[in-house]
Amino acid sequence: MLNIIQAQKNKFYDIPAGLVHGLGTPNHANIKVLEVQQSSDITYRLFDYKRLDKNNKYREIHVGKSLKCVKEIEYISGGISKNHLYFENKYYSCEVVKKSKKVEKHGWAIVFEHNEYFAFELSKGEITPEQTVFYVSWK
C-alpha cells in the first residue's frame, strides 16, 4: 500500500533505498530536493508521468523489478532543532547553516547562489562558503 505524504514547509524527509516515492506537487508547490545517494546506473520505475527520454520515447517502466526491490519502510521526517541539526541517521547528518563556519567533518556544503543550488565538497577544518544553507556530513 502507498501512503500520500503532504510535504510541509521546513521539514526534511529521508527516503531510504527501497521506499517507493514520487515527487508530486499540488498547486505547483515549491519543493526542493537534495538527493544524496550512491552512484548507480539502476533506477526502476513503477510509473513515470509519461516523461520522454533523449530520443523522444517514453521512458521504460520496470514494474516487476521494482516490486522485487520494494521494502516496507516508514519514512522519517525532521525539522530544525536548537543546535541547527536538521536530520541525522546512521549514515549522515544534515544541519542548517546560518553563517560561515569551520567544518568538523568531511562533507558537502549546499550553497544557494544566483537562484541556484550548488554542492561543494569540504574537508575537516575548511570554511563553508557564505551562501551555505545546509551542510551534509558522513558518519
Contact 120, 109 (CB under 8 A): yes
d(C-alpha 27, C-alpha 47), whole Å = 20
Biggest alpha carbon distance in the chain? 49
Contact 28, 44 (CB under 8 A): no
d(C-alpha 68, C-alpha 127), whole Å = 44
Catalytic residue IDs: 45
First-to-last alpha carbon distance for the chain, in angstroms, is 32
